[in-house]
Amino acid sequence: MNDDLILRAGKVKRKKKFVRTIKIILTVLLLLLLLMYIVVGIVYNGGNFSITLDKNLYLKNNIVIYDDSNYKVFRTELYAKTLDKLDNISYKWLPNDLDSSDGGSHNGDNYVAYTFFIENMGDMTSDYWSQIVIDDSIKNLDEAIRIRVYKNGEYVTYAKLGIDGNPEKDTVAFLDGDDAVARDHVESFMPGDINKYTIVIWLEGTDPECTDNILGGEIKIHMEFNSEFIDEESNSEEN
């Protein structure tokens, strides 16, 4: 009888330990999921496209960015309005006057369009670097994304290399080696000079990688303006 009681007590103890372990594992998994949700929320809180300005460009050269010519004040960041849903379209469907906006968001059916300006309001000539970076891409949405950059009326459309290793039709390939899409160095930016940018983002339906596999995907992109460009890859190799 005593042996039977000891055996049953042992089983109960092991069962309680097992249940407690399962509860701990489930709690840890829930906390990890919550943490992931918070991180994604922070990443996408500013929208899918933003523009940042290195404060040194303003403090040393009085260079500003703005999307309203009546509100030229120092800001380190601008945000484009986003779309709740982005279905694939053809580049042929895009309006021809996307760069004619006076500034701000002017999205259309299934594309994001944002116009802004960078101006030298100082009294000395300077230069700056611009760079477009993909911060995050969920479900490989970047495989079929198109990013068109208008600069003073002239544009270039950027896309990832095709599955055959060649640039997609009528595009320039993303930069290799990191998440940078494109870089540009503007020299001799004189006092009073203004550069106008319009950024257009869409999913290209003719891209072979625009399939059902990317349904539900998201992407976070930003464009930054810096006082100098530091090649992080070169620096890491030297160190």
Higher-pLDDT residue of 140 and 229 is 140
Tell me if 234 is assigned to some domain.
Answer: no
Least reliable range by pLDDT among 41-45, 86-90, 218-222: 41-45
In this structure, are 17 and 74 located in the same domain? no
In this structure, are 90 and 139 located in the same domain? yes
- Residue 8: predicted pLDDT: 56
Paired strand residues for 44: none
Residue range(s) defining the domain that contains residue 29: 1-45
Average of pLDDT values for 167-171?
A: 93
One-character DSSP codes across 74-129: --SEEE----S----B-GGGS-TTGGG-SSEE--BTTBEEEEEEEEE-SSS-EEEE
Instruction: State the pLDDT confidence band at 231, using cuts at 50, 70 and 90.
Output: low
What is the pTM assigned to this prediction? 0.77
As a whole number, the mean pLDDT across the chain is 84
In this structure, are 40 and 124 located in the same domain? no
Number of domains observed in the structure of the chain: 2
In this structure, are 23 and 103 located in the same domain? no
